[in-house]
Amino acid sequence: MGDRGGSGGSRRRRTGSRPSGQGGGGPAAAEEEVRDVGAGGDAPAPARAPEKGKDGDADAGSGHWDLRCHRLQDSLFSSDSGFSNYRGILNWCVVMLILSNARLFLENLIKYGILVDPIQVVSLFLKDPYSWPALCLVIVANVFAVAAFQVEKRLAVGALTEQAGLLLYVVNLATILCFPAAVAFLLESITPVGSVLALMVYTILFLKLCSYRDVNLWCRERRAKAKAKAGEGLPGAGATEPGHLPWGGGGTWAAAAPPSPHSLPASAGKKANGGAAQHTGVVSYPDNLTYRDLYYFLFAPTLCYELNFPRSPRIRKRFLLRRLFEMLFFTQLQVGLIQQWMVPTIQNSMKPFKDMDYSRIIERLLKLAVPNHLIWLIFFYWLFHSCLNAVAELMQFGDREFYRDWWNSESVTYFWQNWNIPVHKWCIRHFYKPMLRRGSSKWVARMGVFLASAFFHEYLVSIPLRMFRLWAFTGMMAQIPLAWIVSRFFRGNYGNAAVWLTLIIGQPVAVLMYVHDYYVLHHEALAEGS
């Protein structure tokens, strides 16, 4: 009997382990099972609590204890679920992007063959191998740097008044912009690419000398105030620390010398640029007025002058070799992509523009957007990470913040503030804040910054192409209403998507406009003349 009862209890246990959701008899079956086990005469073993796995359910071996398998929860794609690990979807996007671009690349090779020609790249820089006008322009730029240095030397000793020094600086800076523009516009032997490079050098020199003049002027003003305090016998008159400069309004002053090691975290100096920064030999005004100091600033990867730049303790050879390899590799990659991918697309876009076939124009624009944006991203990494870090490492320049996380921009304003930090710092220090100190509103100061940026964009494009269409100027000024629209109607991820869309679509529009106008001006005019 006991055996039959035991076997019956076993049968009941097996049937009682069915899910409670079938027929609604789960609790009753459990009670019946407990009664049968007690009636069988066998003392049951102490019940062990079911073990729960990671998801909170009972362990698979717990048998009849699996009475519930559902709980209150949201689907993963619901915003209330709190789920945020989409790494697999991101990997899927990368794989799809690679496959789609591989198909485009294969299609390009089948249609056009291999178009990469290194010899053709040389012809973009030189028309005549015995004539190097762009290089000569770059060498002549030293004359303007030396002229600014000599003016500063005479201002420091009082041989020139501030008004005379300002007049000489205005003439020197205006010549820096006008002289290379005239040469690039009038000299037939210089190529558009050579003109762009020469004009970029002169533009950088213009911005650097503006900063050089402002900082030395602030130092002279500081020295004059210290002398005035000393003459009046005021306490603390001699406590003038070397190299202090004004940053904001209200009489506030910020040290140009590097910050004290005690004001930084202990790990910050050790980790940055391979070791703790060296702050020995602090220079004060006018001891900074040397050719060594001037040319260090001219070659340093910054546009803002200081008397004492933060310096890294040593040159990291492996780091430098990696950056140099990246410079070489990405240069070749950009040239190959432009010749193989962009040039055929641009050439095929001329006929739709000539016929004003809008559907074909839009199709060409979207087709050009992919390689243009890819090349722009490669160019950003090549310039702001590889090139600037290589120069900084060679010169032991300590401040390596050349960009911030512009790719997370949720507004157009955030993008322009973070994608090019050297230019942004210069605009804030030498343009935006001085306008605020002179009584301008923030809106007027921002408008002035965008006007200056639009001017230099057009300056670097129109003069080498020898045509003035103002597409670059218009594109930069359009950032002002665009920034308002994005900040007003798009937030969060939608704002970030809007920023990416303007970057992907906006640049090809400007490229096609300039290429079309250049083609009409040079090729069609020559064809009609012949």
Q: Show which residues are catalytic.
A: 457
- 497 alpha-carbon distance from chain centroid: 16
Residue 241 token pair: 């620390």
Using an 8 Å Cβ cutoff, are 261 and 279 in contact? yes
Q: CA separation (Å) from 358 to 170, 296, 373, 514?
A: 47, 52, 22, 17
- Name 397's bridge partners: 311
CA distance 109 to 422: 39
Using an 8 Å Cβ cutoff, are 194 and 134 in contact? yes
Burial degree of 416 (CB within 10 A; 0-12, 13-18, 19+): buried
CA distance 64 to 201: 80
Residue 520 three-state SS: helix
Residue 378 token pair: 């490669």
- Name 253's bridge partners: 246
Helix axes 388-395, 317-337, angle to 10 degrees: 150
Using an 8 Å Cβ cutoff, are 282 and 188 in contact? no
